[in-house]
Chains A and B, each alone.
Chain A
Amino acid sequence: MNFVIAGILGLGFGFSLNKAGLTKYHRIANQFRFKDMMVMKFIMTALAVAMIGLYALRGLGMITFPTAPATYVVGNLVGGLIFGVGMSLVGY
């Protein structure tokens, strides 16, 4: 049952990525050149909506947060630096 939910959520995830144009090279490459701010607008909107929704639901006592990604300052930064090279190069 859990796997069915995963598939359905994946459908929504992939659909939104496609409609925002994140499946195209030029969108992501142009974000890093600041010619096209679509990626940033998309990510920040998703972030804001998810943030409000999750904190509201927790405030109402309807959910508990799952295990959050761990913070280890140097690892996150170095990982982000390496990730950025790949992302800017291939644009996926």
Chain B
Amino acid sequence: MKFILNYIRKDTWSPYIAGILLGIVVILTVVLAKTLLGASGAFENLAAYIGKVISPSNTYFNYVMPAGITWGVLLLVGVFFGGMFGAATSKTLKWGKKDATNSDVQWKRVFGPQTWKRWVLGFLGAIVLEYGAGIAGGCTSGLLISGGSLLVPAAFLFMGGMFASGIITALIVYRKRY
């Protein structure tokens, strides 16, 4: 029992143990809620509120991703607090700390120490990421893990594309240090 508690307090688990936990969550999602996990769709459901104001006859926000507090939005709320809980158990929760917004050593080495840079890059990068997820029909969780576990071909096409461009982007960002 003490061994388990000590393991929960560890900052980083073995990826295999954490992966098994996520696999069980995916199975429970299908059993209990008869749907699939997915993070990016919920952001689109929320963005649809703004999208409908700007363009009321927009096909995408009216039919593909209608506005609303959907199942996925509630899931995202859970993810937020689950992540915080995970950090709290290992005492790495940075809520309210001085370097809370930018504490990643590697990020500072590559892009510089300024916090505003991280906010700007995070915002712009997330636009690119969410746009891609919208085209592909899901993100890493919704398409790659959930779709992949049902052996949907789309998941593996998506993974190929993701790694191809991800490697090239990392090459451009890191250049000689790759």
Contacting residues, chain B, for A87 (C-beta < 8 A): 129, 140, 162, 166
CA distance A7 to B166 in the complex (A): 31
| Contact pick for A79, options B27, B79, B133, B178, CB 8 Å | B133
Cβ-Cβ contact count across A and B, 8 Å cutoff? 332
When distances are taken between beta carbons in the complex, the residues of chain A under 8 Å from B28 are 9, 12
Is the CB–CB distance between A2 and B150 below 8 Å? Answer: no
Question: C-beta contact mask, B105-129 vs A, less than 8 Å → 1, else 0?
Answer: 1110010000000000110111111
In the complex, the answer to whether B83 meets A43 with C-beta atoms within 8 Å is: no
**Which residues of the other chain, A, contact B136 by a CB distance below 8 angstroms?**
75-76, 78-80, 83
Q: Which residues of B contact A2 (CB under 8 A)?
A: 33, 71
Please, which residue of chain B has its CB at the minimum distance from the CB of A17? Answer: B83
* Contact among A71, A84, A91 with B157 in the assembled complex (CB-CB below 8 Å): A71
A33/B143 contact (C-beta < 8 A), A71-B153, A76-B158 known: no
Given A20-B18, A26-B107, residue A63 in contact with residue B173 (CB < 8 A): no
- Give min CB distance, B59 to chain A, whole Å: 15
Within the assembled complex, what's the spacing in Å between the Cα atoms of A11 and B87?
A: 12
Pair A6/B78 contact, Cβ less than 8 Å: yes
Instruction: Quote the shortest CB–CB distance from A92 to chain B (angstroms).
Output: 7
Q: Tell me, in angstroms, the Cα distance from A15 to B88 when the chains sit together.
A: 10
Residues of A within 8 A of B135 (CB): 75, 78-79, 82
Interchain CB contact (< 8 A) of A23 among B13, B83, B133, B141 = B83
Q: How far is the CA of A19 from the CA of B127 in the complex (A)?
A: 26
Select which of B78, B152, B159, B161 is within 8 A of A68 by beta carbon: B152
Which A residues have a C-beta under 8 Å from some C-beta of B? 2-3, 5-21, 23-26, 29-30, 32-33, 38-39, 41-51, 53-54, 57, 62-63, 65-66, 68-73, 75-92
> Closest 9 interchain pairs by CB?
A10-B78, A80-B161, A79-B136, A14-B82, A49-B23, A45-B19, A86-B129, A18-B86, A82-B132
- With A51-B151, A69-B146, A71-B157 given, name 20 new contacts (CB 8 A): A2-B71, A5-B32, A13-B75, A18-B87, A29-B170, A53-B27, A54-B30, A62-B31, A65-B30, A69-B36, A76-B143, A77-B158, A78-B132, A79-B136, A80-B136, A82-B132, A83-B128, A85-B125, A85-B166, A87-B140
